[in-house]
């Protein structure tokens, strides 16, 4: 996609209509400056403006992206439909849509009074004890806690991998506790994305095929699969390794492929359990930047379990677990990562009392 060519094309079509930049700006309810920036190739119109812009300029989406008129006989009938699929399937949640919330965004996840009791032969373990919290659309929430505090159990309950002993869990309004056992796999495929350490890519398939598999399970038409995967791969910086097998790429690349696979089906929520656990710090930061970008730009909702303070500092909100309970919560508000990092450390210190584990968390 050549931004300068697209800009020149917009300019040319606008002039053909006999409009000034301000007149076009007015029709689209944007500033004159915005139009001027598009036309000089300094920026692209917001996704939500593509269609109205095309209608005004009498061009197709393909022509807009190509930056030129396409002869009738060359126009593949399906092409527009494919592009729209890409846009609505995952680019659909663009920045504009996010800003439109006048009130608080809707909750994607609602956990109410959830407990999980594991009964073993001679004792019972209360792995999760009366936990309640909500996660609004578009947020990146972390769950922190020492080993054995119940993080994975809680995530498995939300993932329909395990059932709570009591309480309700709603995903997009649906109480998932009621879903019959035999329907949970289907529910997971349609509504959830997973980035688990042990939830590996299939080794006998290429990266491309691994991602495509998620889409075929979701009945996405064959011709829209390739453009969807290509544009998402560019965003996740894995375009160059699409034809490689999982064993040929690094751990960081594998996790980003897992992200692509999780995200491409546009799930209600992405669940990640220690996603950076096996990565070096560069790859970890890259993955966390990716998560933050997905929330910010695509309205993805992510719940990530981690015991790493650096990873947690990328989140909007942290829930702190201890002995199966949520002991505290911390909101990032407007702080930068560094300040939030320090706040998280203080909170851990407060929860753990005099414990010196805090220092180990900083320098593992
Ligand atoms: P975390 O992920 O925070 O390390 P877990 O959720 O794995 O914690 O475990 C919480 C508690 O529940 C631990 O005491 C663990 O031993 C116990 N537990 C986890 N899974 C099971 C199980 N399948 N059966 C019995 N006890 C379990
Ligand atoms: Mg765990």
CATH number at residue 191: 3.40.50.300
Contacts of 100 (CB under 8 A, 6+ apart): none
What residues in the chain have per-residue pLDDT under 70? 1, 47, 72-102, 198-200, 217-219, 354-364
One domain, residues 152 and 255? yes
One domain, residues 111 and 202? yes
One domain, residues 26 and 53? yes
147 CA to middle of ligand 2, Å? 7
Domain assignment present for 214: yes
- Domain count for the chain: 2
Q: Whose CA is nearest to atom 20 of ligand 1?
A: 153
For ligand 1, whether the C-beta of 149 sits within 6 Å is yes
Q: What is the distance between the alpha carbons of residues 294 and 125, in angstroms, rounded to a whole number? A: 36
CA distances for 83 relative to 264, 270, 352, angstroms: 14, 24, 51
Q: Can you tell me which atom of ligand 1 is nearest the CA of 146?
A: 3
Burial 248-269 (b: 16+ CB within 10 A, else e): ebebbbbbbbbbbbbbbbbbbb
Domain assignment present for 364: no
How would you list the strands of the sheet with 192-196, edge to edge? 192-196, 269-273, 302-305, 140-145, 317-322, 325-331
One domain, residues 29 and 150? no
Domain that holds residue 264: 107-332
Q: Whose CA is nearest to atom 7 of ligand 1?
A: 152
Mutate which of 128, 153, 197, 319 for ligand 1 pocket (most atoms within 8 A of beta carbon): 153
User: What pLDDT was estimated at residue 73?
Assistant: 60
One domain, residues 68 and 138? no
One domain, residues 47 and 120? no
At which of 43, 67, 95 does a domain end?
Answer: 95
Q: Can you tell me which atom of ligand 1 is nearest the CA of 273?
A: 2
User: What pLDDT was estimated at residue 234?
Assistant: 85
261 CA to middle of ligand 2, Å? 22
130 CA to middle of ligand 2, Å? 18
One domain, residues 213 and 275? yes
One domain, residues 125 and 259? yes
Domain assignment present for 178: yes
Ligand nearest to the CA of 273: 2
Residue 316 is encoded by which pair of tokens?
């909007």
Q: Can you tell me which atom of ligand 1 is nearest the CA of 147?
A: 4
Q: Over the stretch 120-176, which tens digit does the pLDDT of each residue have?
A: 888 899 999 999 999 999 999 999 998 899 999 999 999 998 999 999 999 999 999
What distance separates the 2 farthest-apart alpha carbons in the chain?
A: 83
One domain, residues 72 and 10? yes
Q: Can you tell me which atom of ligand 1 is nearest the CA of 149?
A: 3
Domain assignment present for 362: no
126 CA to middle of ligand 1, Å? 9
Domain assignment present for 354: no
For ligand 1, whether the C-beta of 101 sits within 6 Å is no
Domain assignment present for 341: no
Whether the CB-CB separation of 270 and 214 falls below 8 Å is answered with: no
One domain, residues 29 and 117? no
At which of 63, 95, 127 does a domain end?
Answer: 95
pTM summary value? 0.69
The CATH number for 88's domain is: 1.10.260.40
Q: What is the distance between the alpha carbons of residues 152 and 310, in angstroms, rounded to a whole number? A: 19
One domain, residues 235 and 124? yes
271 CA to middle of ligand 2, Å? 13
Q: Can you tell me which atom of ligand 1 is nearest the CA of 162?
A: 23
For ligand 1, whether the C-beta of 148 sits within 6 Å is yes
Domain assignment present for 241: yes
One domain, residues 56 and 138? no
For ligand 1, whether the C-beta of 306 sits within 6 Å is no
Dihedral over Cα of 281, 284, 290, 294: its sign:
negative
Domain assignment present for 196: yes
């Amino acid at each position: 996609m050549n931004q300068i060519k697209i800009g020149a094309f917009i300019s040319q079509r606008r002039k053909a209509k006999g409009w000034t930049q301000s007149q076009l700006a007015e029709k689209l309810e944007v500033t004159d400056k915005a139009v001027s920036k598009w036309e000089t190739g300094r920026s692209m119109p917001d996704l939500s403006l593509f269609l109205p812009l095309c209608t005004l300029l009498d061009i197709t989406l393909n022509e807009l992206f190509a930056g030129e008129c396409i002869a009738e006989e060359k126009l593949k009938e399906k092409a527009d439909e494919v592009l729209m699929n890409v846009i609505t399937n995952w680019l659909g949640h663009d920045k504009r849509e996010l800003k439109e919330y006048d009130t608080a965004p809707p909750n994607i996840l609602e956990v109410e009074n959830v407990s999980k009791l594991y009964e073993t032969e001679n004792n019972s373990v209360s792995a999760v004890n009366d936990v309640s919290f909500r996660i609004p659309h578009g947020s990146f929430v972390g769950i922190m806690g020492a080993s054995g505090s119940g993080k994975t159990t809680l995530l498995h309950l939300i993932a329909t991998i395990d059932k709570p002993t009591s309480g309700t869990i709603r995903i997009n309004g649906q109480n998932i506790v009621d879903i019959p056992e035999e329907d949970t796999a289907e529910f997971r495929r349609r509504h959830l994305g997973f980035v688990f350490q042990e939830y590996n890519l299939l080794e006998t398939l290429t990266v491309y095929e691994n991602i495509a598999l998620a889409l075929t399970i979701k009945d996405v038409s064959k011709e829209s699969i390739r453009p969807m995967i290509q544009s998402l791969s560019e965003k996740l910086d894995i375009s160059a390794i699409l034809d490689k097998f999982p064993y040929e790429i690094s751990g960081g690349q594998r996790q980003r492929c897992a992200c692509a696979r999780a995200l491409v089906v546009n799930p209600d929520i992405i669940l990640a359990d220690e996603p950076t656990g096996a990565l070096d710090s560069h790859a970890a930061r890259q993955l966390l930047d990716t998560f933050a970008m997905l929330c910010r730009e695509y309205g993805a909702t992510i719940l990530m379990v981690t015991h790493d303070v650096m990873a947690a500092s990328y989140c909007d909100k942290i829930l702190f677990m201890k002995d199966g309970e949520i002991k505290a919560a911390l909101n990032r508000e407007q702080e930068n990562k560094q300040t939030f990092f320090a706040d998280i450390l203080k909170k851990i210190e407060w929860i753990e009392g005099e414990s010196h584990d805090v220092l180990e968390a900083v320098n593992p």
